[in-house]
Copies of this chain bind each other. A is one copy, B any other.
Amino acid sequence: MAETRKDWRTRLHETIYEANTTAGKMFDLALLIVILASIVVVMLDSVPSIHQRYGDTLFIWEWVFSILFTLEYILRLISIRRPWRYVFSFLGMVDLIALIPSYLSIFFAGAQSLLVFRALRLLRVFRIFKLGHFISEIHFLKQALKGSVRKISIFLLTVLTIAVIIGSIMYLVEKRQNGFNSIPESVYWAIVTITTVGYGDISPITPFGKLLASLVMLIGYSIIAVPTGIITHDLAIAFRGKTALAESCPNCGFEEHDTDALYCKRCGSSLEVSAARPGGD
């Protein structure tokens, strides 16, 4: 009896947490559709004209999704060995945050607006790639971006420093009457400008302010190239690394190389493999 129960639990675990079995793939797909539908409902309910006409229907649907997500949460809890680990995991927290607003809204009016946090469940959308053939692409992109994170964060720190310095100077130059109300707002303007977003809600009025802004734009225009350069470079490295490790020696076919080997142990040929050729695609 104990074994049967364990068996049932294992099967449930496989269905909910993994995507290898048919049941698991079905569950992932169904969950994705329900998540998307629940987000569409929350989105539509936020549009005033739709809320007025279909508010009641959408209210019912919101509760239907809330109950479905509650069931899913309970199933996740009982089918896993260490439930607390799931509860405190990132996705576990997101699942809980998506549930709470519905129940809070019974006691506190207005808590319903927190339903927008359901959008966070969208992060599960990336499980869709486990259903398709995107695994190698996503793995490849992940690896390349992981290598870039450090360099990109140095870059963002530099941009922020420039934004704070230039924002402070612009606050002195343009003064409050021209929309640069405070240093934080001037820094916000500097970020809007360097990133080339350019809302135009704040823009320089004085000639010197415009000159300074032109300089900031040219700087932003030049340094946008830096993250691109970094990622392009790291993609090339990631790709080169991948194929080289995936292939056997092009000369003698020997396959058991050390992970840091550049040349074939047995025949001395280079293990560097042209990225484009093998197997076509």
Contact = CB atoms under 8 A, between A and B. Distances in A.
A172 B235 CA distance: 37
B237 A231 contact: no
Interface in A37-54: 39, 42-44, 46-48
B182 A154 contact: no
Contacts of A203: 199, 201
Contact of A251 (B46, B47, B263): B263
Contact of A263 (B164, B191, B250): B250
Contact of A221 (B122, B176, B195, B234): B195
A88 to B, nearest CB: 21
Interface in A206-257: 207, 210-211, 213-214, 217-218, 220-222, 224-241, 244, 250-251
A157 B232 CA distance: 20
A80 interface: no
Interface residues of A, number: 111
Contacts of A155: 141, 222
A225 to B, nearest CB: 4
A168 interface: yes
Given A231-B229, A240-B275, A277-B241, A151 B122 contact: no
Contacts of A194: 221
Copies of this chain held together in the complex = 4
Given A46-B184, A165-B119, A193-B197, A226 B218 contact: no
B217 A197 contact: yes
Nearest to A226: B231
A217 B195 contact: yes
Given A46-B184, A225-B229, 17 more contacts: A47-B182, A48-B176, A113-B172, A138-B154, A141-B155, A156-B218, A188-B210, A192-B213, A192-B214, A192-B217, A193-B197, A196-B198, A225-B230, A228-B231, A238-B276, A260-B278, A262-B277
Interface of A: 39, 42-44, 46-48, 113-114, 116-117, 119-120, 122-123, 125-126, 129, 134, 137-138, 140-141, 144-145, 147, 150-152, 154-161, 164-165, 167-169, 171-172, 176, 181-185, 187-188, 191-201, 203, 207, 210-211, 213-214, 217-218, 220-222, 224-241, 244, 250-251, 259-263, 268, 272-281
